[in-house]
């Protein structure tokens, strides 16, 4: 694309956030995202600490949970600080390179979570369908290797667009109509016809998200068939409860994404910028918020560890109070 009279070098972008939000609500919204960020980080950090201190949970399934917890810490750490600054101090400015870095990491963590959910589904598939072979196939070393592979492979597709975007020409507009830099928001500021670029980003997003989803669905169908033939009674109820819980998380993660990405191509799916941003925040931040409760606090072994920690604290606290009273006397 050749530069023309409408081309202006863009050195920085500005995060707009919710376009219709009135300034008198900026402080409240800023505090909301601040407390949301702290809750997400502390909840997922709890699992990281449990995994680091307790050797009993250093098993393949918990390695996946650790990977998910670290990813759930990473995404809001990339996305929310600048959004909070936007609403507290009206500081939504990002340099060109910082915006591109944020865009890369936003899509990186989206791809990574999709691959982690796939790894989790495959782990459950082998554990239930091949219980005798599972201990030899899914060792800690194998799961660690798969985890490292997912963290590396997730960089591939964001890196492709990260290479092309700096070569595009921008028409002087620098307002990101979103709460963070992502491909769609940045490409919308490019000069000329952007329909082809939107189609390319849409196709890439569908492949990254729904190729793993198709494998996840296949694995869960195989799991359900196996459980129906083998299990019964209380075990069957417990298994389907687990499927239902994970199915809700997977639905929250994938379905809203489809509508947000597909809206420009279907006139019947018209979304206002505020609704699109709200949907983006919902599928991006709600799973990291509740994942610690679903995958960790519902796990019997982790609940026992937390209960033991609390009991230790209670046993230490009365002793310290007794010592203080003795010293006072």
**What are the tokens at 167?**
């070569």
Burial, 288: exposed, middle or buried (Cβ in 10 Å; 0-12, 13-18, 19+)?
Answer: buried
Tell me the backbone φ, ψ of residue 9, rounded to 5 degrees. Answer: -65, 125
Q: Where are the domains of the chain?
A: 12-297
Residues 33, 83 contacting (CB under 8 angstroms): yes
pLDDT at 74 (0 to 100): 96
Q: Report which of 206, 174, 15 is spatially closest to residue 110, judged by C-alpha positions.
A: 206
Predicted structure pTM score? 0.85
Q: Report which of 118, 198, 200, 109 is spatially closest to residue 155, judged by C-alpha positions.
A: 109
CATH of domain 12-297: 1.20.1070.10
pLDDT at 160 (0 to 100): 77
Element counts in the chain: helices (H) and strands (E): 11, 3
Q: CB under 8 Å to 22, separation ≥6 — which residues?
A: none
Q: Report which of 82, 96, 75 is spatially closest to residue 9, judged by C-alpha positions.
A: 96
CA distances from 268 to 152, 164, 259, 279 (A): 38, 31, 11, 17
pLDDT at 237 (0 to 100): 66
Q: Report which of 173, 123, 171, 170 is spatially closest to residue 143, judged by C-alpha positions.
A: 123
Please state, in angstroms and rounded to a whole number, the distance separating the CA atoms of residues 187 and 208: 19
Please report the DSSP string for 158-189 in residue order: HHHHHHHGGGS-BBS--EESSSS--HHHHHTT
- The pLDDT tens digits for 170-188 are 877 789 999 999 988 888 8
Residues 65, 302 contacting (CB under 8 angstroms): no
pLDDT at 144 (0 to 100): 94
- The pLDDT tens digits for 274-301 are 988 998 999 899 999 988 887 666 677 8
Handedness of CA 269, 274, 275, 280 (dihedral sign): positive
Average pLDDT of each block of 10 consecutive residues along the chain (329 residues)?
Answer: 54 92 95 97 92 85 91 96 95 92 93 90 84 88 94 88 76 87 86 68 73 83 76 62 72 80 70 88 91 75 82 68 53
**What are the tokens at 111?**
């791809």
Q: Report which of 215, 56, 188, 256 is spatially closest to residue 121, judged by C-alpha positions.
A: 215
Residues 157, 103 contacting (CB under 8 angstroms): no
Which DSSP state fits 6?
Answer: T
pLDDT at 3 (0 to 100): 46
Q: What is the dihedral of CA 198, 200, 201, 207, to 10 degrees?
A: 140
């Amino acid at each position: 694309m050749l530069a023309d009279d409408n081309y202006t070098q863009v050195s920085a972008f500005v995060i707009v956030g919710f376009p219709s939000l009135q300034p008198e609500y900026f402080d409240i919204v800023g505090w909301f995202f601040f407390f949301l960020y702290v809750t997400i980080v502390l909840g997922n950090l709890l699992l990281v600490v449990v995994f680091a201190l307790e050797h009993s949970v250093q098993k393949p399934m918990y390695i996946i949970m650790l990977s998910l917890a670290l990813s759930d810490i990473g995404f809001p750490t990339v996305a929310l600080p600048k959004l909070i600054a936007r609403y507290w101090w009206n500081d939504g400015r990002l340099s060109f390179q910082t915006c591109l870095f944020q865009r890369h990491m936003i899509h990186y963590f989206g791809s990574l979570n999709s691959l982690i959910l796939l790894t989790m589904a495959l782990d459950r598939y082998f554990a239930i369908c091949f219980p005798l072979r599972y201990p030899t196939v899914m060792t800690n070393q194998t799961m660690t290797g798969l985890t490292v592979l997912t963290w590396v492979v997730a960089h591939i597709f964001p890196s492709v667009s990260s290479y092309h975007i700096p070569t595009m020409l921008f028409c002087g507009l620098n307002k990101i109509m979103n709460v963070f830099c992502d491909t769609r928001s940045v490409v919308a500021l490019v000069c000329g016809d952007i329909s082809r670029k939107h189609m390319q980003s849409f196709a890439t997003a569908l492949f990254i998200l729904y190729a793993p989803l198709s494998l996840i669905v296949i694995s869960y169908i195989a799991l359900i068939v196996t459980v129906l033939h083998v299990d019964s009674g209380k075990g069957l109820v417990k298994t389907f409860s687990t499927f239902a819980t994970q199915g809700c998380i997977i639905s929250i993660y994938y379905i809203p994404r489809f509508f947000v990405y597909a809206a420009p191509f279907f006139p019947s799916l018209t979304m206002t910028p505020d609704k699109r941003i709200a949907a983006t925040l919902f599928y991006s931040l709600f799973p990291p918020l509740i994942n610690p409760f679903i995958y960790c606090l519902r796990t019997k072994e982790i609940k026992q560890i937390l209960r033991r920690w609390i009991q230790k604290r209670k046993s230490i606290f009365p002793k310290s109070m007794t010592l203080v009273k003795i010293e006072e006397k």
